[in-house]
Copies of this chain bind each other. A is one copy, B any other.
Amino acid sequence: AANKKLLFLPGDGIGPEVMRQVRRVIDWMDRKRKITFDVSEGLVGGAAIDAHGVPLSDATLAEALAVDAVMLGAVGGPKWDNPTDYTKRPEAGLLALRKELGLFANLRPAVVFDALVDASTLKPDVIRGLDILIVRELTGGVYFGEPRGITDIGNGERRGVNTQVYTTSEIRRVARVAFELARKRGNKLCSMEKANVMESGLLWRQEVTKLHQEEFQDVELSHMYADNGAMQLLKNPKQFDVIVTDNLFGDILSDEAAMMTGSLGMLPSASLGAPDANGNRKALYEPVHGSAPDIAGRDLANPCATLLSFAMCLRYSFNLDEDAKLIERAIQNVLGGGMRTADIMAPGMARCSTTVMGDSILREL
């Protein structure tokens, strides 16, 4: 069989330095586990704008479409901020990847690591042991809806328009992923929208309800308005198992949930497409945190979120659950031993660099 094909897109800011630690784990897998990846590397975001004038070149996109999975670092930074041309933003590269690869299901776990329970601004008993999964729709809604744009409407006035739009099949396919994941976990799904205000949310609620009736009656389904969801996440996050929501609400609510864990530098994500005839799906894996330009290039960043994203990659794209668990356990043990990058540093712990964190995880492996 051909080797497993990976495309590395380190991107901007701390992207390259955290991705370097994934390279080291890949070398370890090659040597010790006899699992070999063909790794190619490309540019995305600001780095691609600097090199090619666009945040995602056609060649890189073609490469992304050809590989088994994409590993992404992070995109964006002040250097490329505030361009008025929407196609020339670092973010446009990431959005194009999501759309062109059809990555409609974005899995964002919000997990509290025992060793980090005090890092949160929430009280320890509220979040200890928290393990929820947010499934965010990623290729639809107001992110891609047409018409969109800014137009002059006379008298010195302008109008800015975006369109929130969802169809039956867009809703069903992401809800299906969420129901299936719930079945493998706590068997509970909560769907969030603003059906009380938006027709697109009402359609969302109706279609999720219908799919539940048709195929997933064994899963416990509830619905919540997204504003109430933002409150309930804070009030009692452990009431949730899997949450499914649209692109924009998912952006906000998953960031809220991530920050609640206090472990932002620890959280991975997976973005998945539809399975093909052989059950293979396009996929992209990236840390939930951003490019953190303020600490970029200083060997300060926490590589764990990216390494855990690689663990998700092993699990979802290559069915290597055992190897995924090895990485996850190695990270837990290193944390348990007191190693901390700056973002999760706490009194009595040992502060370390990106590289030393990588060293420790490799030693543990």
| Separation of A167 and B91 alpha carbons in the complex (Å) | 25
When distances are taken between beta carbons in the complex, the residues of chain B under 8 Å from A165 are 159-162
* Contact present for B202 and A150 (CB under 8 Å): yes
Q: Contact mask A242-284 → B, CB, 8 Å, 1/0?
A: 0000001101110110111000100000000000000000000
Q: Check: A365 CB closer than 8 A to any chain B CB.
A: no
Minimum Cβ distance to chain B for residue A96 (Å): 13
Contact A197:B143 (CB < 8 A) given known A230-B259, A231-B258, A255-B227: yes
- A122 proximity list for chain B (CB < 8 A): 121-123, 234
Query: Quick one: which of A149-199 are within 8 Å of B by CB?
Result: 149-150, 153, 156-169, 194, 196-199
A52-85 CB mask vs B (1 if < 8 Å, else 0) is 0000000000000000000000001000000010
Task: Determine if B156 and A168 form an interchain contact, defined as CB atoms under 8 angstroms apart.
Answer: yes
Provide the residues of chain B in CB contact with A26, threshold 8 Å: none
B169 and A159 form a contact (CB under 8 A): no
Q: Does A356 contact B (CB under 8 A)?
A: no
Residues of the B chain whose Cβ atoms lie less than 8 Å from the Cβ of A153:
167
A150 touches B248 (CB 8 A): no
A157, B168: Cβ atoms closer than 8 Å: yes
Q: Is B157 within 8 A of A166, CB to CB? A: no
Asked if A340 is an interface residue, CB under 8 A from chain B, the answer is no
Contact at B163–A164, with CB atoms within 8 Å? yes
Asked if residues A199 and B148 are in contact (CB atoms below 8 Å), the reply is: yes
Q: Which secondary structure dominates where chain A touches chain B?
A: helix
- Which of A89, A167, A197, A202 is most buried by chain B, counting CB atoms within 10 A of its CB? A197
Known: A227-B252, A230-B252, A259-B231. A196 touches B160 (CB 8 A): no
> Which residue from chain B places its CB closest to the CB of A289 in the assembled complex?
B231
CA distance A150 to B198 in the complex (A): 10
| Whole-angstrom distance between the Cβ of A14 and the nearest chain B Cβ | 16
Contact B199 A227 (CB under 8 A): no
Please state if B163 and A161 are interface contacts (CB–CB under 8 Å).
yes
CB contacts (< 8 Å) of A164 on chain B: these are: 142, 161-164
A197 close to B230 (CB less than 8 A): no
On chain B, the residues within 8 Å of A253 by CB distance are 230, 252
Distance of A220 from chain B, by nearest CB (Å): 18
* 14 CB < 8 A contacts A-B: A91-B197, A121-B122, A121-B235, A153-B167, A157-B169, A158-B167, A158-B168, A161-B165, A163-B164, A194-B248, A194-B251, A230-B255, A231-B255, A234-B259
Known: A162-B164, A162-B165, A163-B163. 20 other contacts (CB 8 A): A86-B199, A89-B196, A91-B196, A95-B197, A121-B122, A121-B234, A121-B236, A122-B123, A142-B164, A150-B199, A150-B203, A158-B167, A158-B207, A162-B163, A162-B201, A227-B251, A230-B252, A230-B255, A231-B259, A249-B252
